[in-house]
Structure 1
């Protein structure tokens, strides 16, 4: 049995949380995906994930040539007097398992650059059985699975003068 180290858990520790009502499904149209096994209220913390920030050299010379490159996040890398350079980070936990959605994004994420963690929270109420999706931003390295659905909706809205879009707006 190892002895405890001398740290202040309240000041130095990062509280890790994961929402318990989640399942990983392996055979979705997008590949594997994270789904809600029970309703999740808006603003719920889904996961707090540690990040491994790679040096720009390692990201470019090693990771960019592997499948792992498709699962990394852009991350600022301090370069001293010159400011920041962009590198990649491997996000552990559920961070690299969420699929992208432009249209059905229901989870947002924030980076803590100092503590090197990413926190995921629901943006709205999530129904049981719904896939949890984040936005990867505008620089996708793959074909967006929502692209055909969005194209069909845009064509329908063009035909009906935007009435379909107005019908989807929820009044607050």
Structure 2
């Protein structure tokens, strides 16, 4: 088989300084356990692209649909259509914040999404992406919930001590 690293291999990266907390007002969320610098790659996630018909006829009627990303696909005529993709890794765990601190880039050829911090992240801070301006759910950051970073640090300290 030869070398494990060749032109077909994809280097996967994940920042080790993160945890998932289950009991936040938004449900599960990804939080920094240490400071993370701006522009750091925090995860490279493989993607499973769903067929347009498969998505419309099946996935759209399940809870999985709420965890998928829009993904461009070419149809048999070469036209680009929008389907959905399941993002493995942390991609489907990031919560929404219109003032996001994590950005993402699609790699449609290699079927990957790379997530990077957009600014310096402090220990205890939640890592969030923006789902865009048209949300289909109540935004937990709309003012009904104020994230207390001290609470986040307390939760992280309990996890790290366990």
TM-score using structure 2 length: 0.84
The answer on 1:139 being equivalent to 2:134 is: yes
Aligned to 1:33: 29
Q: Please, which runs of 5 or more residues in structure 1 have no aligned partner?
A: 151-172
Q: Looking at CA atoms only, which structure, 1 or 2, has the larger radius of gyration?
A: 1
Q: Please, which runs of 5 or more residues in structure 2 have no aligned partner?
A: 146-162
Determine which of 119, 124, 129 is the counterpart of 2:114: 119
Which structure has greater helix proportion? 1
- Is the contact between residue 51 and residue 91 of structure 1 (CA under 8 Å) also seen in structure 2? yes
CA deviation after TM superposition for structure 1 residue 81, in Å:
3.1
Aligned to 1:108: 103
Query: Could you say what the CA RMSD is over the residues aligned between the two structures, in angstroms?
Result: 1.7
Aligned to 2:72: 76
Query: Would you say how many aligned residue pairs link Structure 1 and Structure 2?
Result: 145
- Whole-angstrom distance in 1 between the partners of 2:108 and 2:76: 15
Tell me, what secondary structure is at the counterpart of 1:94? helix
Counterpart mapping for 1:1-172 below 5 A: 5=1, 9-103=5-99, 105-148=100-143
CA deviation after TM superposition for structure 1 residue 83, in Å:
1.6
Distance 1:8 1:21, change over 3 A: closer
